[in-house]
Amino acid sequence: MHHVVLPRLNMTMENGTIFWVVENGGYVNEGDVLFEVETDKASIEVQATASGKVYRLVQDGEEAKVNQVIGVIADPNEMVNLDEIKQQLEKPQTESVATVDTPIRKEEKTNSVGPKALPRVRRFAEQLNVDLNSLEGTGPNGTITEEDVRRAADSTKLVMKTVKLTGIRRDMARNITRSTSIPQFSQTVEVDATQLVDFYHSKKHSIPFLTYTDIFMKTIGDVLNRLPEMNVRFDEDHEQLIYHQGVHINLAVSTSEGLVVPLVREVPKESLENLHQKIRDIIQRAKEKKLTPFDVELGSLTFSNLGMYGIDSGVPLLNPGQSIIIFAGSIKETLTLQDQHVTMRPVLNMTFVYDHRVFDGVQAARFTQEVRKAIENIRGHSNASSR
DSSP calls for 283-316: HHHHHTT---GGGG---SEEEEE-GGGT-----P
In the chain, what are the helix, strand and coil shares in percent, each to the nearest 5?
Answer: 30, 25, 45
Q: Which of 197-201, 213-217, 247-251, 294-298 bottoms out in mean pLDDT, i.e. has the lowest?
A: 294-298
Cα separations in angstroms, 231 against 203, 234, 243, 359:
29, 11, 6, 11
The arithmetic mean of pLDDT across residues 100-128, rounded, is 60
Phi, psi of 72 (to 5 degrees): -135, 155
Q: What pLDDT shows up at residue 386?
A: 59
Q: What pLDDT shows up at residue 277?
A: 97
The arithmetic mean of pLDDT across residues 14-20, rounded, is 87
Rounded-to-10 torsion of CA 134, 140, 146, 150: -50
Q: Do domains 2-154 and 182-386 have the same CATH topology?
A: no
pTM here is: 0.63
Structural domain spans, the chain? 2-154, 182-386
Instruction: Pick 340 or 104 by higher pLDDT.
Output: 340
385 pLDDT more than 70: no
Q: Fold for domain 2-154?
A: OB fold (Dihydrolipoamide Acetyltransferase, E2P) (2.40.50)
Cα separations in angstroms, 212 against 218, 284, 351:
10, 17, 16
- Specify the CATH architecture of the domain 182-386: 2-Layer Sandwich (3.30)
The arithmetic mean of pLDDT across residues 358-368, rounded, is 97
106 pLDDT more than 50: no
